Structure 1
C-alpha cells in the first residue's frame, strides 16, 4: 500500500474560528493573519493505492458554489482534485473508493461536480467509485443543526445517494487490508479518521493516521487548541488527549488536512504536554 498526499489548496479561514478560545496573540505566531483576520490553510487529500483499489480520502471544496460563497475563502485557487489525480497518472475512472471523513463543504465539496457546461446537472466526480461515509454523519448532514447548516451543502453529497454510489462504513466492510477507521464526535458527529498500516523506510511497520479536523494542523496539536467550528469542544479535548497519547505510545505518523506547510508530523511527551516532534513531508518521515 502506498499513500500520496494531494494538496489542492491554498484557501483561507478566519483565524479566530480556527483556534477557538486561544488568543490571537498566541496563535498568530504560527499562523499569521491578513488584514481580514484570515489565515492560509491547505486543502489536503490522500491518494491511497492498495492492490487493485485506488482510494481518495476527502475531496476538497469542489467548484459548485457561486463567486460570493467562494470569495469568503479566497477561492478558486487554480487547483482541482481531478487535476491532481491526473497529474499522479490516473483518471477519474480509476478511482474505486472515496472515503469522506465528514461532509463539511471543504472535505466533501469535490465529491460531486457539474456534468455539463451549463451547470444544471450534477454527477459523482468519480463515476466508478463507492463513496464511504458513516451513517451517523450522513444523518447529521442531511438533518443539520443550526450551527453547521451553512457547511452541509446538499448538492455536495445528496447525488451520491440518488445514483447508488453511497456506502456506510458502519454497515458494510470497507474491506481494505491494512486500513482501520477511528470515529470522533467532537468536531461533528462520527467524523472518520483512517489509519493505514505501512512499511517504513527501515522496513519496520508504521501506522499513518489522517487526522481530518481532530487536529487540522501542526499548530493544533496542543490539547486546548480546539477549533471554534467544533460542536462539542470539551469532547474534542478528551478525544485529542486519548488520540495523542496513543500516537506517542505507538509512534504514529500524523497527516494533517489543513496545515499550509507540513504534511505530517510525529509527537512526543514533554513537560508542557504532548507536542510536535518531527515534522515534514510524509515521504521524509516514513
Structure 2
C-alpha cells in the first residue's frame, strides 16, 4: 500500500513521513486523565506512545512546498534511544517519490521544535557533528517572528527542543522570511498566527479549486486532539491553544476542509464536523492508501 495524493483541485498534496519517534503519553494529553486517553492510544513499557512526523508535499502552480521537515537525522545514539527514533528522514521520503531536496522551493515551518525543524539541516560530514548545512539549498523558508525570537533565546524549559544546529544555517542563508502575523506565502497558500503550542506557532491554509486543507501544526498532533480541551503539556499557553483550536477547527468544519495531523501514525489527514451542540468536533480519517 502506498500513499495517494490528495487532489484539492489544481493542488496536489502527497503525504510523506519525516521519521517516527515516541513521547510520554501523559505529556501528550496534558491534564486529560489517563482513564480517558488510554482508550485511544497504546503505550510501551516506558509509558511512551508512537508518533509520526507527517509532512505534506504540496505541488501548487510551479512550486514545490513542504510544511515542516520532521526530526532529521542528526541524532546521536543516546537521543535516538531516548525518543525511540526510527524510519528515514524527510529527504529520504522525498527521494523515494522522485523529488530531490533541491526541487523544494518553499518550506513553511509551523514552529521550530526539534520534531518539526530537525530536518532543515544535516551534518556536512557524516563523521563530523559540528557543521550543519541546509537540506533545501534553493528553498525560501517562512517562520513567525515570535517563534524565531523564542528559538534564538530558548529558556530552561525550551532549550532541549530549540536546537542551534537546526537554526544557524537558516539564519545565514539569506532565504529566511520572518513573518509577523497572517500572510500569503504563495497564491493559494497562507499562514495564520495561532500561538499556544509555542510563542510563534502558525497554521497553514491551502486552497485549491475544489477543496481547502488546513495544517494546524501541533494544535492537532493526533486525531484525538480534535477535542478542544485535549491539549499537550508541552503547549506554552494552553488557554491560547484552546481558543485557537476552537476557532480553527470550526472554520475547517464549516469549509468541509481536509485537516492535517502533525503526528498521527494512522491518520495523517482527517475531516472535522461540529458535534456536542457546537461545543466539540467529531473526527474522521481521510483515506489515503492505494494498492
Q: So what's the TM-score if we normalise by structure 1?
A: 0.91
SS for the counterpart of 1:113 is strand
The Cα offsets for residues 53-98 of structure 1, whole Å up to 9 and x where unpaired, read as: 11111111112132112221101x1312111111121111111111
- Please state how far the C-alpha of 1:112 moved relative to its aligned partner: 0.8
Shift of 1:16: 0.7
Match of 1:128 among 138, 146, 160: 138
2:51 and 2:264 in contact (8 A); partners too? yes
The higher-RCO structure (CA 8 Å, 6+ apart) is: 2
CA contact (8 A) 1:81 1:110 kept: yes
Aligned to 2:251: 246
Among 270, 276, 283, the residue aligned to 2:282? 276
Cα distance in 2 between the residues matched to 1:165 and 1:60? 20
Residue matched to 2:5: none
CA 235–172 in structure 1, closer or farther in 2 if over 3 Å, else same: closer
* Alpha-carbon offset, residue 35 of structure 1: 1.3
Q: Select the structure that is richer in strand.
A: 2
Indicate whether 1:154 and 2:190 are aligned: no
Q: What residue is the counterpart of 2:89 in the other structure? A: 80
Counterpart-to-counterpart distance in 2, 1:166 and 1:24: 41
Residue by residue, what CA displacement relative to the aligned partner does 1:88-146 show, whole Å, maximum 9, x if unpaired?
A: 21111111111111100000001011111322422100111112111211001101122
What is the DSSP-based 3-state SS (H/G/I as helix, E as strand, rest coil) of the residue aligned with 1:59? Answer: coil
Q: The residue matched to 2:270 in structure 1 has which SS?
A: strand
User: Could you say if the C-alpha distance between residues 176 and 276 of structure 1 is closer, same or farther in structure 2, counting changes exceeding 3 Å?
Assistant: same
- Give SS of 2:22's match: strand
State the Cα distance separating 1:279 from its structure 2 match: 1.3
| Mapped partners of 2:124, 2:228: distance in 1 | 43
Give the structure 2 partner of residue 41 of structure 1: 51
Please give the secondary structure, in 2, of the residue aligned with 1:240. Answer: helix
How many residues in Structure 1 have an aligned counterpart in Structure 2?
278
CA contact (8 A) 1:100 1:107 kept: yes
The SS at the match of 1:136 is helix
Q: Distance in 2 between matches of 1:43 and 1:53?
A: 22
Q: CA deviation at 1:24?
A: 1.2
Aligned to 1:186: 196
Q: Is residue 184–residue 191 contact of structure 2 (8 Å, CA) maintained in 1?
A: no
> Which residue number in structure 2 is paired with residue 164 of structure 1?
174
CA distance in structure 2 between the aligned counterparts of 1:245 and 1:215, rounded to whole angstroms: 13
**TM-score, with normalisation over the residues of structure 2?**
0.90
Question: 109, 125, 142: which is aligned to 1:116?
Answer: 125
- In the alignment, does 2:31 pair up with 1:26? no
CA–CA separation in structure 2 for the residues paired with 1:4 and 1:147: 34
Residue 45 of structure 1 deviates from its aligned partner by 0.9
